[in-house]
A and B are shown apart, each in its own frame.
Chain A
Amino acid sequence: MGRKLAILLFGCFLSAVLLNGQDQAFTATAPSAVKVGEQFQYVVEGSERGEMRLPSIENFQVLGGPYSSFSSHSQWVNGRMTQKTLVSFTYVLKAIKEGTYSIPPVIVKVGKKEYLTNEVVMVVTAGSPQGQTAPSSSASPEVVSGEENDPVFLRVIPSRKEVYMGEQFVSGLKVYTRVNTRPASSARDIPYEGFYKNTVDPDERAQQQEIGGKVYVSQVIQRHILIPQKSGKLEIPPYKSEWTMQQRVERQGGRSAFDSFFDDPFFDSYQDVPVTLSTLPVSIRVKPLPPGAPGGFTGAVGDFTMKASLSDSEMEVNESLSLKITISGAGNLPLLGEPEVNLPPDHDLYDVSKTLNTNTSGNRISGSVSFEYPIIARHAGRYRIAPVQFAWFDPKAEVYRTATTEEFSFTVLKGESEESGGTVFVPGVAHESVRDLGTDIRDIARTQPVFSTVASSLFGTLWYRWLYPVAIFLALLLVILIRMMTKRNADLTLVRNRKAGRAARSRLKSAERLKKADQADKFYEEIGKAVWEYLSHKMNIPTSELSREVVIEQLDQQEVPDQERAELLRILEESEFSRFAPSSERSDMHLLYRDAAKLISLLENSLK
């Protein structure tokens, strides 16, 4: 600044002393040919200071100006001093349309006098507007600075060129200069594409640096904390910004010893020249995060700690409490996703609110981010919230780390709304089918099972097959045995039966003999015996057990005709009675014998 002031003072001093012999004409210069869209300088130069206003010119757009500059110098030639003052007005114009156009004469006011400049004819050709080749011009051309040789250049300087996705780093925009320069307008931020950026105060001081043998002053003008949001090679394209730099104006005229004295930069005159500075493209290699992210990983990269708290451990139905999870540390905090919280069933998860509280001191984003999960209980009971997991990637150690909260539990008390029943309708409280929480298989069986042989079948075993024939055989055997026994019994009866008639007849025969021998007592006894024995055999009852009652019963059972029954009883009675009765009262032996024989032959048929 000081130098500029000195130059100005010096110029004023000279112009005040030497005013004669000045050429008052003003000449306008501009490149004879430009391309559409190209910026060029329109310079009006004269030797007197004045005012100039450029009228609106068709087909050209005024981008900036007038940048006026003033310089003056004196020359001593052959003992005569000539003084020269140089005034220039510079406009930055842009050609809009193709064609040949002229910039008409412009009026320059110097005090009360008005001067006209010459007309400039220009040819505007079609072409890429980015044409960087500076057209030949007598005035200082537009400079696009990028080379390290240039008096001014810009650089994007990232602190690291290889980072993990989500890992933060710093990138600065630095200007290097060896001339006086300043930004033409408030500089835009560099649009870092593919990065989350956070502007940091570029609180660095200007430094002196030697580059290519020349001393530059470097100054950080922008500083950002960047967080890559995708992996791969991310390009920071050239960034252009408009600057104004002071350029030394070459002295016109011949050289002399005096000249060499003024060759010193101190005595140079300077001119403000707009210049577009461009950075070099920079590429950053963004490595993807390694595989094997644990559960609870939501993209956090950095170094964190987690805290969690439940606002209350008790609430009433339809009230709410909130679970607050705070993650603090340094890393990509603004980009963190909320950790997943498994609320107990029957509780609805509402929108999670996120509070970010970060600062960028120390050239890194640090601070905390809080997530608040509101919980509204619908039913009374005791519930628990499973531990929440939060995982992040530590780029320094290149490992994933996990933090886990404790398990929270809370109690929901029966609220008044639920007790008062009908007045407040709580949706879904009255009847609700049991919701399926189970989306898993049931657990294994633990009780000791009873094992059996694989693919064994009782039905297929030989001994089982034999059980059926054996059972049939046994049954048949049983049938045969029972049959045989019955038959044997039946035979015995039959024999006795058959014997009965014969025995009775032999008894009757002996009775007949006794009758002839006139042994009456014996005769009657023999008749009785014959009948009793016959009955005994016939009825298969031993004689000792026979009695009148038993006989009657048997006769009833065998349905013997009443006539025969009566006859049987009569004969038994008579034989019994006649044995002991006096002979006069005895029944006739002959008749009794005949009746007994007749009865037996009758009973032979009716008794079985």
Chain B
Amino acid sequence: MKRIIISIFLALPLAAGLLMATGTDSLFHRGNELYEEGKYEEALGVYNQVVQDAQESADLYYNMGNAAFRSNSIGYAILYYEKALKLEATHEDASNNLEFVSRYRLDAFEEVPQLFLAAWIRAFVHIIPERTWSILSILLFIIVLSGFLLYLFAKRIGLKKTGFVSALAALLLFGMAFSSAASRHREIIHPDAGIILAPSVVVRSSPSESGTELFILHEGTRIEVSEEVSGWQNIRVIDGREGWILAEDFGSI
């Protein structure tokens, strides 16, 4: 049911993309067939063509994660599952497989406990995708304006009250939806997280080969990324350590 609703929300901006869909669909099926035949690396290649056609979906990334895992590529498997979850945070299979595959990861970190409120807000923002937040936001904005108009021009005092209250409530909800949409939008445009893809990476204290070697990260470890300086990326590990690695050694989620 939810899927249908989301689909309807998605339908409008997709109208243009539908022309492309037939080619993309057959690629997806071809990838699935190769996967079932055990040709995992070829399947991954076919799925990748879909992404190169600038098309994506949570299920596609999920299948890519599976194919990568079967090709013994833990880093890419984790990256693709994370991508699937970014598009659809409620993708249960992806989160299950991500947890499973994470056992093969070498690095283990003490997670710095997040502030409860921050974690809660993060979870809330990720309940629904950016598209849904954006549409919700504009709908709520229209409700705010309508409520306000009702308050202004209603002759009866009861209608006036209803207008005022609904405008206020909608304004509150609009604020949440709008900021959620904005934050999801920011994540999409400027990814702030990544997965180490190289088998092992030396993290340096400055963005150059001469920087002091601080510590070593291994394939599959999740990092937060901030600024980039001439091919070097400033990263931050979940336990709070920071340093610089080459941008080619990780994949953005």
Q: Is A482 an interface residue (CB 8 A)?
A: yes
For B66, give its contact among A443, A460, A468, A474 (CB under 8 Å): A443
For A451, give its contact among B50, B69, B152, B185 (CB under 8 Å): B50
**Chain A residue with the shortest CB-CB distance to B6:** A450
Given contacts A442-B93, A449-B60, A454-B51, contact A472 B189 (CB under 8 A): no
**Chain B residue with the shortest CB-CB distance to A459:** B185
For B153, give its contact among A441, A455, A458, A482 (CB under 8 Å): A482
Asked if B55 contacts A453 (CB within 8 A), the reply is yes
Q: Is A423 an interface residue (CB 8 A)?
A: no
Asked if A468 contacts B17 (CB within 8 A), the reply is no
Q: Is A456 an interface residue (CB 8 A)?
A: yes
0 or 1 for each of B18-60: is its CB under 8 Å from A? (1 = yes)? 0011001100100010010000000000000011001111111
Q: Is A186 an interface residue (CB 8 A)?
A: no
Q: Is B200 an interface residue (CB 8 A)?
A: no
Q: How far is the CA of A448 from the CA of B25 in the complex (A)?
A: 7
| A-binding segment of B105-113, B141-149, B156-164, B226-234 | B141-149
Q: What's the least CB distance linking B190 to chain A, in Å? A: 10
Asked if A464 contacts B63 (CB within 8 A), the reply is no
Asked if B55 contacts A454 (CB within 8 A), the reply is yes
Q: What's the least CB distance linking A446 to chain B, in Å? A: 6
Given contacts A454-B54, A457-B188, A475-B148, contact A445 B138 (CB under 8 A): no
Q: How far is the CA of A543 from the CA of B57 in the complex (A)?
A: 73
Q: What's the least CB distance linking B179 to chain A, in Å? A: 11
Asked if B28 contacts A444 (CB within 8 A), the reply is no
Q: What's the least CB distance linking A472 to chain B, in Å? A: 7
Asked if B145 contacts A457 (CB within 8 A), the reply is no
Q: How far is the CA of A389 from the CA of B143 in the complex (A)?
A: 69
Instruction: List, in ascending order, chain B residues with CB within 8 A of A441's CB.
Output: 66, 69, 96-97, 100-101
Q: How far is the CA of A455 from the CA of B189 in the complex (A)?
A: 7
Q: How far is the CA of A482 from the CA of B188 in the complex (A)?
A: 42
Q: Is A437 an interface residue (CB 8 A)?
A: no
Asked if A453 contacts B54 (CB within 8 A), the reply is yes
| A-binding segment of B115-123, B128-136, B209-217, B236-244 | B128-136
Instruction: List, in ascending order, chain A residues with CB within 8 A of B60's CB.
Output: 449, 451
Asked if A451 contacts B56 (CB within 8 A), the reply is yes
Q: How far is the CA of A474 from the CA of B142 in the complex (A)?
A: 10
**Chain B residue with the shortest CB-CB distance to A458:** B134
For B145, give its contact among A450, A456, A475 (CB under 8 Å): A475
Q: How far is the CA of A478 from the CA of B145 in the complex (A)?
A: 11
**Chain A residue with the shortest CB-CB distance to B84:** A445
Q: Is A471 an interface residue (CB 8 A)?
A: yes
> Which of A440, A456, A458, A478 counts the most B-chain CB atoms under 10 A from its CB?
A458
**Chain A residue with the shortest CB-CB distance to B36:** A444
Asked if A458 contacts B189 (CB within 8 A), the reply is no
Q: Is A434 an interface residue (CB 8 A)?
A: no
**Chain A residue with the shortest CB-CB distance to B69:** A441
Q: What's the least CB distance linking B103 to chain A, in Å? A: 10
Instruction: List, in ascending order, chain B residues with CB within 8 A of A440's CB.
Output: 100
Instruction: List, in ascending order, chain A residues with CB within 8 A of B13's CB.
Output: 452, 456, 458, 461
Q: Is B182 an interface residue (CB 8 A)?
A: yes
Instruction: List, in ascending order, chain B residues with CB within 8 A of A444's CB.
Output: 32, 35, 62-63, 66-67
Q: Is A490 an interface residue (CB 8 A)?
A: no
**Chain B residue with the shortest CB-CB distance to A439:** B100
Instruction: List, in ascending order, chain A residues with CB within 8 A of B59's CB.
Output: 445, 447, 449
For B141, give its contact among A446, A451, A459, A468 (CB under 8 Å): A468
Q: How far is the CA of A447 from the CA of B91 in the complex (A)?
A: 14
Instruction: List, in ascending order, chain A residues with CB within 8 A of B149's CB.
Output: 475, 478-479
**Chain B residue with the shortest CB-CB distance to A460:** B185
Given contacts A457-B185, A482-B153, contact A452 B57 (CB under 8 A): yes
Q: Is A467 an interface residue (CB 8 A)?
A: yes
Instruction: List, in ascending order, chain B residues with CB within 8 A of A472's CB.
Output: 145
For B56, give its contact among A452, A457, A467 (CB under 8 Å): A452
Q: How far is the CA of A233 from the CA of B134 in the complex (A)?
A: 76
Q: Is B10 an interface residue (CB 8 A)?
A: yes
Instruction: List, in ascending order, chain A residues with CB within 8 A of B14's CB.
Output: 450-452
Q: Is B7 an interface residue (CB 8 A)?
A: yes
Q: Is B126 an interface residue (CB 8 A)?
A: no
Q: Is B181 an interface residue (CB 8 A)?
A: yes
**Chain A residue with the shortest CB-CB distance to B57:** A449
Asked if B93 contacts A445 (CB within 8 A), the reply is yes
**Chain A residue with the shortest CB-CB distance to B133:** A459
Instruction: List, in ascending order, chain B residues with CB within 8 A of A443's CB.
Output: 66
**Chain A residue with the shortest CB-CB distance to B24:** A451
For B17, give its contact among A452, A460, A479 (CB under 8 Å): A452
Instruction: List, in ascending order, chain B residues with CB within 8 A of A442's CB.
Output: 66, 93, 96-97
Q: Is B184 an interface residue (CB 8 A)?
A: yes
Q: What's the least CB distance linking B244 to chain A, in Å? A: 25
Instruction: List, in ascending order, chain B residues with CB within 8 A of A448's CB.
Output: 25, 28
Instruction: List, in ascending order, chain A residues with CB within 8 A of B10's CB.
Output: 450, 452
Q: What's the least CB distance linking A136 to chain B, in Å? A: 76
Asked if A457 contacts B184 (CB within 8 A), the reply is yes
Q: How far is the CA of A444 from the CA of B37 in the complex (A)?
A: 13
Q: How far is the CA of A447 from the CA of B153 in the complex (A)?
A: 51
Asked if A450 contacts B7 (CB within 8 A), the reply is yes
Instruction: List, in ascending order, chain A residues with CB within 8 A of B142's CB.
Output: 471
Instruction: List, in ascending order, chain A residues with CB within 8 A of B55's CB.
Output: 451-454
0 or 1 for each of A412-436: is its CB under 8 Å from B? (1 = yes)? 0000000000000000000000000
Residues B170-202 near A (CB distance < 8 A):
181-182, 184-185, 188-189
**Chain A residue with the shortest CB-CB distance to B47:** A444
Residues A518-546 near B (CB distance < 8 A):
none
Asked if A449 contacts B138 (CB within 8 A), the reply is no
Q: How far is the CA of A177 from the CA of B205 in the complex (A)?
A: 85
Q: How far is the CA of A296 from the CA of B149 in the complex (A)?
A: 79
Q: How far is the CA of A461 from the CA of B131 in the complex (A)?
A: 11
Instruction: List, in ascending order, chain A residues with CB within 8 A of B35's CB.
Output: 444
Q: How far is the CA of A468 from the CA of B178 in the complex (A)?
A: 11
Listed in ascending order, the chain B residues whose CB lies under 8 Å from chain A are: 7, 10, 13-14, 17, 20-21, 24-25, 28, 32, 35, 50-51, 54-60, 62-63, 66-67, 69, 93, 96-97, 100-101, 130-131, 133-135, 138, 141-142, 145, 148-149, 152-153, 181-182, 184-185, 188-189
Q: Which 3 A-B pairs have the closest CB atoms?
A: A449-B57, A459-B185, A449-B59
Show 10 residue pairs from A and B whose CB-CB distance is below 8 angstroms, ordered by the A residue: A440-B100, A450-B57, A452-B17, A452-B55, A454-B56, A455-B189, A457-B184, A460-B185, A471-B138, A479-B149
